[in-house]
Structure formats: structure tokens, C-alpha cells
Structure 1
Amino acid sequence: METTEILLKIREIQKNADKKFFNQGIFPSYRQNILTRRKIADDNIFFSASILYILDSYTHLYNEKELKIYSDIKKEVTQNFDFYTNKPNRNSFNFWRKENGKHFPNGPVFSKLAKFKLPDDIDTTSLIQLCKKPPYKYALKTKQAIPNHANTVKLKIKNGHKSLQHLKAYSTWFGNNMPIEFDVCVLSNLFLWINEYNFDLNQHDLDSLKLLETTICESLYFKSPFHSSPEYPNASIILYHLARLIAKTNYLNKYRSKLVGDIIKLKNQTKDAFQLLILNSSLSKLGIYTNNANTNELMPNLSNHWWFTAGLLSIYGNSIIQKIAPWSIFHFRFVCPALNLSLLLENKLIAVPNLKTK
């Protein structure tokens, strides 16, 4: 499948989204728990922003037809952004719409319980602002609000890797009463945004970078992907986010070689086509070129691979709960076919075929 064909397929998914579940322009995604096996349509803005950010990154490589397809996709996605924010004092965004009953959409239980409503998060906020590219003053409001929700400011983290709990790093969540949670992928996306606006770095920024540095130096994503990234608890996905950050900024450049070594190590241990796609793209971002993904092997199951997780127990600090929190029975796995196609498109655009990894 060539790049134009992939872009057309992404656009087709967007146009044909079931209007009963998804607003016009939203890319369909679904959540599923291994116990119920039920696939539930999930109207969130996170995946649409994630797709658009990937597509935005390669406009310089598109031909005229591809630029037109991309432009149509972007127009329909961006018209939805404001439906997922209601905090102009900090210009932050939420995974789901903020109206009552919009959390865990189409769910028979969680959507009825207010305790499962999520506060705004720095992941969705960073990705949307990277796509939206608002003025500096707009983004600065957000930057000034984030430290209010960092570790030790009001609350102290009680989960994750114990060796990182002393850091005054940023939590994933804006909520005043939401427990602190560290997530390597979320912080990687945050620093893409910080780099975009060239913000001065405060103590919380420096500690957040220290968290990322320690994660790479100690390969914590191999020890426990869940405790490194409760929202993206998969080592391949974590390595992808870190590689993208290093490729686009100078923040962690001195750890490039270490990260390359870890990516190659994991690549040599996996046979899963989707994981290999992500790892190959990660290497390409860091200047190490390998064979393109085996599209024929990947395509039949491409739409089934999850990218994001809602861990129902991830924020709790109780030692017993922390032991069982990584169990998949307590997770909702989120799948977005269009995102997986975007990752395939990215691989086609940046991976150089017929070269062996050094």
C-alpha cells in the first residue's frame, strides 16, 4: 500500500464514521476490556489529535494530491477541538467532552458515575496545541497552570517507580484532587509542546526531564512498562515516544545511543509485526535505517492493535492495588484503526528499505 492510498484510507475512515457515535471529523476509536470482550465506540479527541500531529509532521514529503487529502482531514479534525475544553483560564483540553455523561461514552456503568469523570490532561492538551498552534500568550496560560499539579506541590505521588517518587515532575492530570501520576509518554508529548514554544525551564520541567533521563539510563520501561507509562504500558510504544522527542528536540540528545541500543534489543526479541513497525520507525527517527515493515503481514490485523490504555487502578497508591494494577483485566484498551494507518504511513515515509540496522 503506497502513501497516497494510505492517506485516502485514513480520510475514508474519517468520512464514514458513524454519526450516531462520533461527531463529524472525529476518527472512530474503541475501548475494550478482555473480560467483557465488548467493543465500545469511544468519542474522544485524543486519537484525532494524535493522528493529526503525525500527519502534520510530514507535509513536506506529500505530493499535491496528498496535501489536498491532508488539508481535508485537518479541517474536519480542528473544528472539534473546542468541544473538549471549558477552562479558558488555562486553555487545557480533556480526553472526552466535558458535558455530563460524556465520560466513558456509550458505557452502561462508568458513564453514569461522576467519580469516573476525568480532569483535563497535559497529554491531550499538548497534542491539540501542537496541532492548533495557538499564539504564545495562549500557550503561556497553560504553561503557567501546569506546575500547580506537579508532584509535591499539593499532593505526592504514591505509585509508579519508587526511585522516581522524589522528583517534582509533572503529573498527567490537571485535577486538584486527582492523585499524581507520572507517565513517560505523556511527558514526552509535553516536551514536544514546550520545545515548540521555547518556554524557559523551571524546576518542575528540569525534574520531569530528569525522570525521562533516569527512565532511559535505567531502562525502566523493560522493568515495568506499566509503572513507566500507565497510559501507554507497552515498551515499544514508550520507546517510540522517547525516540520522537529526541528526534525533534535537543532535550535528551546525549541519551540517543542508549535509546537506540534499547530499541534494537527489543526489536531483536519481538516477532509482532505492529511492534516491529513502531520500533523500525523509532530507529529511523534516530537516523538508524532498517527494512520497511512487512505490510502484507501487518495489514490483516492492523486495526486491532491498541495504542492507549485506561487503567482503572493506576492512580492508587495502596501496595496491594499497585501489584494488581498492571493486570490487563483492570484496563480498557483503546484501538483506533486510523491511528495505526498513520503509523504505517509514517513508516513508509521515513524508513529506508533494504538497509540492515547497524
Structure 2
Amino acid sequence: MRICVLLQGMLIFGMILQSNAQSSVISFLLHRIDSWQVRSDGFYYEGMFTSFRYYAAFPHRPKQDNNIFFTAITCYTLRQVRAELPDSLQPVADSILLRAQHAYAFYQKPQHPLTYNFWPVDPPEVFPNSFLLKPFRYINALSDDADDASMIWLAMHPPDSVMKAYHAYLTEYANTMHHQIRNTYKKYKHLPFYNTWFGEKMPVDVDFCVLCNVLTLLYSYHISFNRYDSASMKWLEDMLQERKYILDAAYISPHYARPPVLIYHAARLWHIAHPEWMKPYIKQLQMDAIRCLQHTNCAMDSIILYTSLMRLGTKPEVMMQIDANRVEEIEQQSCAIFFEAGFYAMLRNPFKRWFTPLSFIKYYFSSPAYVDALLLEYIMTYKFSGN
């Protein structure tokens, strides 16, 4: 009896120690994210997070890049975990989210109040800190895009009226509305899915992760779906059914390009909405996530795959342990790439297919604050998943 009591006491003591260690890492990560946030306007605007751009052909020479994308996705991730943070840490998360709202306006044109740009719009930027491309910023400025707009709205959580207006605006630029897509599989050229770009001069572009983000936003607001939503779901469902997120990831998602990142976006959409059309592919996504885990040496990829598996409803046999001493190492890994920009994404077929594998026309993007947010998300998902 005494031995049983002793073992039980040791077990409880061990659980307390583990819980305290976990809480310490959560606090460490949140305060580290807070430390990355810019406090005054300059190259970055107040409230933004630093991020870096790497030319794929020479990835060891990063340049700072003042895109708004990583600020948006970092804040959305924080908003998702905020309610589960300890009471003492919730004000820290709230202050981060509040400061970020100052920066968003610099990426929005007054004449387009429903959308946002990847880079600042006044004056327009194209590949900031690039001496060769700077003279072309006015003639080559990007259109606003559905990915940045959707993620900023998710980060800000505006009223329903804004979302209804944004939903209507999305349909105005769907495939076939102004132009027909020329760089996806031929059988989808007439399908009116949502376009990545809000611009009549931009070619139509479809991206697996962008559509996941758009639908995550619309599902979050319980929007009444139309034919453009249904078309977007149809395209995504076919990509899942045919496992294109594994077999042809860079082609169906030129702005994200890697299977672990595509699986992460699909799992997040499932976690938010549990749409019926995704149900037949959940087991398949689980198995593919496990296969990716078995073949990666990248800590960030492992983290998002573990998070994806938990969101897909499975318990990984082995989990990655995170402590404060490992965080900086994970942030600095060269593989911690979540997003990329490739000129090939704009090309029509067959040129897009030919140029997709080439590194000299693509850039990688990363942000240490977002890596920290992914680590925090992973720990919080594990803590509250019942695993």
C-alpha cells in the first residue's frame, strides 16, 4: 500500500513539474514574440514583426523585408490560442494584437478598403532592400491579394458587415470574371474559384493554401456560400482526392510549395470548420503527415506536422520536446521557410510547369516571430488536445 501511495505521489509530482516546465516555455515564447514586435515606425511600422527574404539561388544572404504577411499570420495564431493562455499572459497577447493594428493601414489603399497588399502601398514597394528592383516599384507594384486580406481580417476579427462586403468583393475577381486561368490543370479553366489577386491586369492564379485561408475566414463567419465558394471547395477537394498536395505541391500552391505547409493549411481548415467535403480525406491526410514526419529533418516542419496531426484527430506516438534553449536554434534553421514568391507563379502553361523547379526565379520568406508563434501553437494544441 505504501509503495502504491509513493508511486502515485511521484506520478503527481512529475506531472506538476511537467506542467510548470510547460507553463514556463509558454511564457518564454509569448514574451519572445512580444520582443520581436517593432515599437516605432521606420523601415517597419510600429506593431510589425521582422521578417527576412532569401534569394533561393543564394539563400545565405538574407535581406530584411517589410511585408505585412508575417505580422498578420503571427497575430492570427496568437488570437487562436489567446483564450487558452494563463490569465496572467492574456494581457501580453492582447497588447501584441492591439499594437499590430497600427501597421495594417499602411498596406491598404484608401480606394480599396476591403483588401490589403503584401508590401506598403504609399509609396508602393516591390522587393524592399533590393537595389536592382527598386526603380521598377511603380510599374511593377503587386495588386492586393486574397491571402494577405484574409489573414489580416482573421487577425483583426472585424464585424460581420465587413465580412459580407469582403465576401462579395472576392466574387468580383474569381476565375472567369475578368480573365480565365491559364496555369492550372486544363479541366479547371472554367471553374469559378477564387483568384489570389484583386487586379484586372494580373493573371488569374489559384493556390491551395490561399483558398484554405479564404475558406477558413468565411467558415469562421458562417457566411452563406455561393457558387464561387462551391467552386473553390470543389478545386480543393479534387486536390485532396488526387493527393496533389503531396505529388504536385509547388504547382498547386506556388506561394507555399511544400507538402508539410499544405497539410498544415488543410488541417487548420478542418479544425476550424469540419466541412463535410473534407471528411473522406482526413485519414489520408493523417497518413501523409506521418510520412512527411518520417522524412524531414526540419524542426519547423515537424512542429507544423505534429500540430496538423492533432488537429486531424490523431495522437502521434512521439512528440517533439520544446524548451527555451532550443527556440533560437529552431528560429535560425535555414529550412524554417513558410512562404515563397516565385515569378513562375504568374506564367501561363507550359512555362509555369517548366520554371517551377528553378531556384533563380524564386525567393523564400521567414520570420522568427512566426516560428515562435508556431511553437506556441504546437504546445497549446498538445496541452488542450487530450493527448
Q: What's the TM-score, normalizing by structure 2?
A: 0.85
1:32 to 46, 49, 54: 54
Is 1:259 matched with 2:320? no
Is 1:57 matched with 2:80? yes
Alignment-mate amino acid for residue 68 of structure 1: P
**What is the Cα deviation at residue 116 of structure 1?**
2.8
The CA distance in 2 between the partners of 1:306 and 1:58, in whole Å, is 22
Identify the residue that residue 27 of structure 2 maps to in structure 1. Answer: 4
Which structure 2 residues correspond to residues 32-181 of structure 1 after superposition, within 5 A?
32-36=54-58, 37-88=60-111, 91-113=114-136, 114-181=138-205
The CA distance in 1 between the partners of 2:32 and 2:326, in whole Å, is 18
Change (3 A) 1:101 1:125: closer
Conserved? CA contact 1:21–1:41, under 8 Å: no
Identify the residue that residue 310 of structure 1 maps to in structure 2. Answer: 341
**What is the Cα deviation at residue 161 of structure 1?**
3.7
Length, aligned pairs only: 354
Is 1:214 matched with 2:241? no
SS state at 1:22 partner: coil
The CA distance in 1 between the partners of 2:188 and 2:52, in whole Å, is 32
Q: Deviations over 1:338-358 (max 9, x none)?
A: 0001001111111269x99xx
Q: Deviations over 1:46-94 (max 9, x none)?
A: 1101001001011121112211211121111112112211155551111
Conserved? CA contact 2:83–2:90, under 8 Å: no
Conserved? CA contact 2:39–2:47, under 8 Å: no
SS state at 1:64 partner: coil
Query: Gaps (5+ residues) in structure 2?
Result: 1-23
Conserved? CA contact 1:215–1:221, under 8 Å: yes
Is 1:292 matched with 2:323? no
SS state at 1:32 partner: strand
Alignment-mate amino acid for residue 369 of structure 2: A
Identify the residue that residue 44 of structure 2 maps to in structure 1. Answer: 22
Query: Gaps (5+ residues) in structure 1?
Result: none
Q: Deviations over 1:246-269 (max 9, x none)?
A: 011032441322222221222233
Question: Identical aligned pairs, as a percentage?
Answer: 28
Conserved? CA contact 2:106–2:122, under 8 Å: no
Change (3 A) 1:101 1:200: closer
Moved more, 244-253 or 294-303: 294-303
Q: Deviations over 1:263-312 (max 9, x none)?
A: 12222332332211110010111221223324366741423411111111
Moved more, 297-306 or 23-32: 297-306
* Higher gyration radius (CA): 2
The CA distance in 2 between the partners of 1:99 and 1:16, in whole Å, is 20
**What is the Cα deviation at residue 245 of structure 1?**
0.1
Is 1:270 matched with 2:296? yes
The CA distance in 1 between the partners of 2:236 and 2:351, in whole Å, is 26
Alignment-mate amino acid for residue 100 of structure 1: P
**What is the Cα deviation at residue 163 of structure 1?**
4.6
Q: What's the TM-score, normalizing by structure 1?
A: 0.92
RMSD: 2.2
**What is the Cα deviation at residue 20 of structure 1?**
4.1
SS state at 2:364 partner: strand
The CA distance in 1 between the partners of 2:250 and 2:359, in whole Å, is 10
Identify the residue that residue 188 of structure 1 maps to in structure 2. Answer: 212
The CA distance in 1 between the partners of 2:127 and 2:369, in whole Å, is 20
Change (3 A) 1:196 1:294: same
The CA distance in 1 between the partners of 2:380 and 2:352, in whole Å, is 43
Identify the residue that residue 351 of structure 1 maps to in structure 2. Answer: 382
